[in-house]
A and B are shown apart, each in its own frame.
Chain A
Amino acid sequence: MSDIQIVDVPAGVEGSGFFATSLDKAIGLARANSLWPLPFATSCCGIEFMATMGSHYDLSRFGAERLSFSPRQADLLMVMGTISKKMAPVLRQVYLQMAEPRWVMAVGACASSGGIFDTYSVLQGIDEVIPVDVYVPGCPPRPEAIIDGFMGIQQLVKTESLRRRNEPKYQELLAKYGIQ
């Protein structure tokens, strides 16, 4: 017998032959379990990510089987590694090319805060140029930590409203970064 597990049913009204829930919850469930990550790996955190994608840790269990190497089809930008100041406009361009809904995860100390590279040439955290949803601490973080961060993103995706980009709070955030 197969031991395939399926996700829990969201809260809703159930009766014989029908199940009703809100569209937000249904779509959120679908999005959260089929995120397409775009790995933006520049250094050692990228190696940990490779382990996370490998068979032992297997990120595809979370529906992230399909890595998108084009920002246009990606839902989640995973920034893993040191971002130099010269790289910052490139990273920003990649973020701008992603379609809504989009989420960003800063993996490791360098992407989150510049890490040990407190120097003139390194960006002190990617949140100086793009908004970040989840930060994963560690130098580099173990695959477990990356998975934990990924599950944090899934939680966000499940619970936020369908049209996040229309919320004034979100637009204010983007305006702060000079986007749109």
Chain B
Amino acid sequence: MGKITNEELLRRLDEKFGGTVVQTGADFGLLTVETSVDAIIDVLSFLKNDEALNFIFLTDITAIHYPESEKPIGVIYHLHSLTTNTRIRVKVFMPLENVHIPTATTLWDGANWMERETYDFFGVIFDGHPDLRRILNVDDMTVFPMRREYPLEDPNRVDKKDYFFGR
């Protein structure tokens, strides 16, 4: 089976979901679509289970923080169709006060650790996740370090204070 073209992919998504799935880009030929929190599991499930599309491999789940935008926290899914060697990127954005999104562990068991990592660094709550706790950072960490409001540097460090450099 050959690679599915972006136009074909978009046409099928449009056919199924109407206006809830919109294209936001196709950088380097990788189709990027955006959808809503309510529709995300249906979209992922359709992409995975549709016989022609067959996006059975979940490459990655991650998140992003754009502090200036209206919906600053975004969750990003990368899917790969192994039978047609096609990839797609699905994004969902949500407001800071409600960072809940349904878990993808119902579709892929591999989503378990990816979602834990995304929670660990961005504080996104995956509803229905079997074991949502920190995975990489120390358990007693109180911040979500990849969010822009937290400084990247360790506050305990004293040897880089300004007065050492005459500032």
A-side residues, CB < 8 A to B, are 85-86, 113-114, 118-122, 124, 128
The residue on A at minimum CB distance from B160 is A118
B137 and A114 form a contact (CB under 8 A) = no
Contact with A along B137-167 (1 / 0, CB 8 A): 1100101010000111110110110000000
| A119, B154: Cα distance in complex, Å | 5
Interface SS of B by simple majority: loop
Q: How far is the CB of B62 from chain A (nearest CB, A)?
A: 17
Q: How far is the CB of B149 from chain A (nearest CB, A)?
A: 13
B154 and A118 form a contact (CB under 8 A) = yes
The residue on B at minimum CB distance from A112 is B159
A114 and B154 form a contact (CB under 8 A) = yes
Interface SS of A by simple majority: loop
B153 and A119 form a contact (CB under 8 A) = yes
24 of the cross-chain contacts (CB-CB < 8 Å) are A85-B138, A86-B136, A86-B137, A86-B138, A113-B157, A113-B159, A114-B154, A118-B153, A118-B154, A118-B157, A118-B160, A119-B153, A119-B154, A120-B137, A120-B141, A120-B145, A120-B150, A120-B151, A120-B153, A121-B145, A122-B154, A124-B156, A124-B157, A128-B156
Residues in A whose Cβ lies below 8 Å from that of B136:
86, 121
What 8 pairs between A and B have smallest CB-CB spacing? Answer: A124-B157, A120-B145, A118-B153, A85-B138, A86-B138, A124-B154, A124-B156, A118-B157
The residue on B at minimum CB distance from A86 is B138
For residues 21 through 47 of chain B, which have their beta carbon under 8 Å from a beta carbon of chain A? none
| A93, B137: Cα distance in complex, Å | 19
The residue on B at minimum CB distance from A85 is B138
Residues in A whose Cβ lies below 8 Å from that of B138:
85-86
| A121, B141: Cα distance in complex, Å | 10
The residue on A at minimum CB distance from B154 is A124
